[in-house]
Structure 1
Amino acid sequence: MNRGSTGQYEVSSTSGETVRAFVPAPLPPLPALDLTGGRQRLLERALLACGRLDGVTALLPDPDLFLYAYMRREAVLSSQIEGTQSSLSDLLLFELNEAPGVPFDDVVEVSNYVAALEHGMARMRGGFPLSNRLLREVHEHLLARGRGANKLPGTFRTSQNWIGGTRPGNAQYVPPPPQQVESCMAALEVFVHATDDGLPALVRAGLAHVQFETIHPFLDGNGRVGRLLIALMLFDAQVLAQPLLYLSLYLKQHRAEYYRLLDAVRVDGDWEAWLDFFLEGVATTAQSAVDTAHRLLALFRDDAARVQSLGRAAANALRVFDALRARPLTTLNALVERTGTSYPTVARAIESLEKLGLVREITGRKRERVFAYGRYLDILNEGTQPL
């Protein structure tokens, strides 16, 4: 639906030139969204896929293992959209205090993303409301180290930013002036908590994401916080019991269309076209996560059966194998600590797992070696190749 512009332009002066900054109207859209016909069926398909995702996690022997791995996969993907070149293995090496194969700042950004998401989830599980204060805390963790640490972590911007172009005057898009940020974000917070407009939780998350990106309230990290906002809202609305729905891979694969639709909302008020794209992404992403969970269940089951064939060595090898399911990239010392067994026992178990082809050493070193549960990492790495 073409509603026309979804806000108004405010002319201001910044960096010595006049700019037209866009101030979005508060949500929900007017006229009301058209959620009938094919869009209603798409919403139902997306909700059904989320329900399957919620259900399959209950089948996992330890859902926290899946959450651990999926959160890190999302951190890699979301950061790649912003230009980092880190892989999942780089992040896991960094967490082992090993040197990753990319610039230090890149992997620090990804590690910060994990910390930001974990902080947000811990606060919400502790009863803290999804709010602007929480988003500022998440942002503070996101920019705590590395690039962006000087971009006011945890603080809404007090200067004009812009998207595209070399300066505000030739930018593709100029968000609201700094003096409008607080009021725009306050209105967004009201919308996030509204219960009287009849909008489904998935629709509300889709609208809020666009509004957040339109406001662009921080000097840096807006894209990553905006994507985190979707996961936090769906968790808050109890659409998912675990924050396992992350759209970064879908957005990475459809970047041009994603940016085109954001512009179409601002210029033409075409929220419906955006929602079609968003709901398709939710359905596709949730189903993909379900498929991945089933593949991992089958992988763990088949590989555990192979380990059990080791006879007398099986008990210790299974203990180490379980530790590798929790941390698919690890060292012998880390395995000793995680399993509570001796170094020689762990070394023999790893040797047995290498002979079975389940584990490979990735450094080529004789000391301080790093071992990877190869097929597990291969599944998690799908789609995470740097742009």
Structure 2
Amino acid sequence: MKELLAEIDNLKEQLNRLRYIQGEKVAKAFEMEYTYESNRIEGNTLTLQETVLVIEKGLTISGKSLHEHLEAINHSFALNYIKELVSEKAPLTKHELLNIDKLILQGVDNSNGGKFRTVQVLISGAKHIPPQPFMVDELMEGFFKWYYDNKDSIHPVILAAEIHERLVTIHPFIDGNGRTSRLLMNLILLQHGYPIAILKGDSENRLKYYQVLEIAQMDGDNEPFIEMVALNVKEILLRILQVLNFNI
């Protein structure tokens, strides 16, 4: 892991030297891909091109549900929100977390969006059973305490991955936990100058994603999950550098 993190930080330094020529179109393309893949993990069937058309052109895609359209639009709004938090150097608090989930569920489930759940939930196909609702408030207090105790002492990529895993394991919301957890992960990465991690939503990668999450949740071993996130960050850095070097 130390070698992988060193590689990531070396690539980040290379990116920092080229960042001044990084066009808005390049960043937007990766953001659209991120929205597409994050929703795809949750079962959204919009293609990447359709996702772009819905968000940028406001088009309605024939044969796709309103729910899927809203998921694309809402994720784009939530991504813009975390970018604003980064630019404003806003601290991560319960307020910001609730706002992210509220944006994700806007028009989809307004009654539950941005609120901690008060009922028990189950995750289809998963062995992990989220904690009882009466435990959520206390667990989330512990979540934020862990974050503030560790945010300045562990590598940002590890911090981002752990925050993702810890939040999705608590599963504090009725819906939107996966997307909110990935947005929170990327908020931390962006705060530290890393690009967004784009976890893939195709069948093979989605299965691996859930498998390493389950290992963390059931066996208490989060190293495979952290490694998966770190490898993804490395891959994204390499892709961005390839594009930027090509455009020089």
Residue 125 of structure 1 and its aligned partner are, at CA, apart by 2.0
Q: Does 1:155 align with 2:109?
A: no
Larger Rg belongs to: 1
Give the match for residue 189 of structure 1: 144
Residue 249 of structure 1 and its aligned partner are, at CA, apart by 2.5
Letter of the 2:144 partner, please give it: E
Q: How far apart, CA to CA, are the structure 1 residues paired with 2:134 and 2:106? A: 25
* Structure 2 unpaired stretches of 5+: none
Question: What fraction of aligned residue pairs are identical, expressed as a percent?
Answer: 24
Give the match for residue 223 of structure 2: 272
Q: Does 1:97 align with 2:58?
A: yes
Residue 257 of structure 1 and its aligned partner are, at CA, apart by 2.2
Asked if structure 1 preserves the Cα contact closer than 8 Å seen for 2:190 and 2:196, the reply is no
Q: How far apart, CA to CA, are the structure 1 residues paired with 2:207 and 2:36? A: 20
TM-score, structure 1 normalization: 0.58
Q: How far apart, CA to CA, are the structure 2 residues paired with 1:77 and 1:293? A: 22
* Distance change (3 Å), C-alpha of 1:252 and 1:223: farther
Alignment of 1:167-206 (within 5 A): 172-195=127-150, 198-206=153-161
Give the match for residue 27 of structure 2: 67
Alignment of 1:1-387 (within 5 A): 39-60=1-22, 62=23, 64-94=24-54, 95-101=56-62, 102-145=64-107, 148-150=108-110, 152-165=112-125, 172-195=127-150, 198-236=153-191, 238-240=192-194, 244-249=195-200, 253-295=204-246, 297=247
Asked if structure 1 preserves the Cα contact closer than 8 Å seen for 2:21 and 2:244, the reply is no
* Distance change (3 Å), C-alpha of 1:91 and 1:261: closer
Asked if structure 1 preserves the Cα contact closer than 8 Å seen for 2:200 and 2:206, the reply is no
Q: How far apart, CA to CA, are the structure 2 residues paired with 1:179 and 1:251? A: 35
Q: How far apart, CA to CA, are the structure 2 residues paired with 1:196 and 1:232? A: 13
Q: How far apart, CA to CA, are the structure 1 residues paired with 2:58 and 2:228? A: 40
Residue 220 of structure 1 and its aligned partner are, at CA, apart by 0.6
Q: How far apart, CA to CA, are the structure 2 residues paired with 1:67 and 1:137? A: 23
Residue 265 of structure 1 and its aligned partner are, at CA, apart by 1.7
Across the aligned residues of Structure 1 and Structure 2, the Cα RMSD in angstroms comes to 2.4
Residue 208 of structure 1 and its aligned partner are, at CA, apart by 1.3
User: Greater strand percent: which structure?
Assistant: 1
Residue 195 of structure 1 and its aligned partner are, at CA, apart by 4.8
Asked if structure 2 preserves the Cα contact closer than 8 Å seen for 1:113 and 1:142, the reply is yes
* Structure 1 unpaired stretches of 5+: 1-38, 166-170, 299-387
Residue 217 of structure 1 and its aligned partner are, at CA, apart by 0.9
